[in-house]
């Protein structure tokens, strides 16, 4: 697999926010989102055994496989190997490709509101739906997808004044629609990876 980086930090977003996790960032993505803040194209080839060994260097029990788009490379055999190493495996995906069935937690972050129907998710279930909110568009609840948690995350535009307005609008939306919960990018607030 082509791996961009492996590192340990706190999960900064969504339901598992604040939990220690080892992040396995795979290289490449099938989408080109205008707001993407992740450098994921570079990387090196690693075997599944090398990935597991790198993960085992940290005590965190949660492994978050992300990207880019992890569904382009993630295999059931890597998930099995991480399970044998005593880890829970979470995946953060745009949902446009199927995932191995043995993943423990799926965070679906659809991008079709910005990129159109070609970016629509094909997944029919996820543990967590994490939508980016720009304050302009009403969040789609994706009611055709079975989800346990709905998280609304303000988009980071790079403009502090606009970001403050978007955060206020997101908070207001969640207060009016309690099926959603607020997700902040805690790692950015704390200035950690």
The yes-or-no answer on residue 38 being catalytic is yes
Neighbours of 37 (CB within 10 A): 10
Given the residues 29, 107, 133, 170, the one annotated as active site: 29
The yes-or-no answer on residue 8 being catalytic is no
Q: List 44's β-bridge partners, or say none.
A: 3
CATH of 2-190, one of 3.20.20.70, 3.40.50.300, 1.10.1380.10, 3.40.228.10: 3.20.20.70
Residues 6+ apart with CB under 8 A from 105: 16, 88, 89, 90, 91, 127, 128
Taking only the tens place, the pLDDT of each residue in 71-102 is: 999 999 999 999 999 999 999 999 999 999 99
**Alpha carbons 96 and 119: distance in angstroms, whole number:** 6
Give this prediction's pTM: 0.92
User: Largest alpha-carbon pair distance within the chain?
Assistant: 47
The yes-or-no answer on residue 29 being catalytic is yes
Taking only the tens place, the pLDDT of each residue in 29-46 is: 878 766 666 666 788 999
Are 125 and 106 in contact, with CB atoms under 8 Å apart?
A: yes
Domain ranges of the chain: 2-190
Spans of the chain, pLDDT less than 70: 33-40
The yes-or-no answer on residue 134 being catalytic is no
Given the residues 7, 35, 38, 124, the one annotated as active site: 38
**Alpha carbons 111 and 108: distance in angstroms, whole number:** 10
Kindly state the tokens that stand for 23. 């992040």
């Amino acid at each position: 697999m082509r791996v961009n980086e492996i590192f340990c930090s706190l999960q900064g977003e969504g339901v598992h926010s604040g939990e220690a996790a080892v992040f396995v960032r795979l290289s490449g993505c099938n989408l080109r989102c205008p707001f993407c803040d992740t450098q994921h194209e570079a990387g090196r080839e690693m075997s599944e055994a090398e990935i597991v060994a790198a993960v085992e260097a940290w005590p965190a029990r949660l492994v978050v496989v992300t990207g880019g788009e992890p569904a382009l490379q993630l295999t059931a055999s890597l998930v099995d190997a991480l399970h044998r190493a005593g880890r829970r495996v979470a995946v953060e995906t745009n949902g446009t490709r199927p995932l191995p069935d043995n993943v423990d937690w799926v965070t679906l972050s659809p991008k079709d509101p910005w990129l159109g129907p070609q970016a629509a998710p094909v997944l029919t279930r996820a543990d967590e739906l994490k939508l980016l909110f720009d304050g302009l568009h009403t969040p789609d609840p994706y009611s055709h997808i079975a989800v346990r948690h709905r998280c609304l995350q303000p988009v980071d535009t790079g403009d502090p004044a606009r970001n403050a307005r978007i955060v206020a609008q997101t908070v207001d939306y969640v207060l009016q629609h309690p099926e959603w919960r607020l997700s902040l990018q805690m790692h950015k607030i704390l200035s950690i990876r």
